[in-house]
Amino acid sequence: MIQRTRALFVASLCLAAIAATTTSDAEAKWTRTTPWACHIIQGTALDTNWALQNDSTTNELVALCPIVDSDYLLKQNLTRVNVHVRDGHGSASARALLCESNYTTAGGACSAPASSGDSFVGNTTLSPSTTNVWSTATAAYFGYIYVAMPRKSGTSRSNFRGYWTED
C-alpha cells in the first residue's frame, strides 16, 4: 500500500514538472516583420509585388530594418534572427548584419555579416550571429538589421521578403 502511494506521489510530481516545463518552453517569444517596416537608403525599391525587389542594375539595395525592443521581447534576449531573401545575382551576394546605434555618444556596432555567397542564386535565409551585439551592457542602444540586396542581373531581381526574431 505504501509503495503504491509513493508511486502515485512520484508519478504526480513528475507529471506536474513535465507540464510546467512544457508550458515554459511554449513561452519562447518571436516576431515576424515585413520589409515594408524598413527604411531604404540605397538602390531602387520595387514594391509592387509580394516582396521588396531591387530594380537597380548598378546599386545594391540597402534596407535598415527596426527590431522590436520592448518589455515583451528585449533585444538583448534575442538568440536567433532569420532574414528571408532571394539572391538573384550570380556574382554578388545578399548580406545581413545585426546592428545597434549608441544612445549618448556617436557610434555603434554590427555583427559579422551573414552572406548568401557570391555565386549563389536562389531563395535563402540569412542568420547573422547575435553573439556580439545587443548585449545587456548596450540595453540603451537602438537595434536594427542592415540588409543589402545585389543589383539586378539581366531580368533577375533580388528580393527581400521579411525577417523573424526569437528570444
Partner 1 sequence: MKTQLLRGAVSVVLGLGSGLAIAFVWSSLHAPPSAPASMAPGALAGVDPAASDSKPAEPLDTEAQALALWSSKLAEHAAEAIDEPWSSIASRKLHVDLEQLADERGFSLTRTDCRTTSCSATLRWPSYQAAIDGFSALLHAGYQVSCARRITLPEPDDPDQPYDATILFDCSTDRRAM
Chain positions contacting partner 1, by CB under 8 A = 1, 4-6, 8-17, 19-21, 24, 62, 71, 74, 76-77, 95, 97, 99, 102-113, 115, 129, 131-133, 136-140, 146, 148, 167
Q: Which among 133, 140, 143 is positioned nearest to 66, based on CA atoms? A: 143
126/148 with CB nearer partner 1? 148
How far, in Å, CA of 76 to CA of 160, rounded?
25
Nearer to partner 1, 146 or 160 (CB): 146
Q: Pick the closer one to partner 1 by CB: 13 or 37.
A: 13
Least distance to partner 1, CB of residue 147, Å: 10
Residue owning grid cell 556596432: 109
Which CB sits closer to partner 1, 50 or 66?
A: 66
How many residues are recorded in the chain? 167
Distance of alpha carbon 32 from alpha carbon 87, whole angstroms: 20
Give the whole-angstrom CA distance, residue 110 versus residue 31: 20
What minimum distance in Å lies between the beta carbon of 9 and partner 1? 4
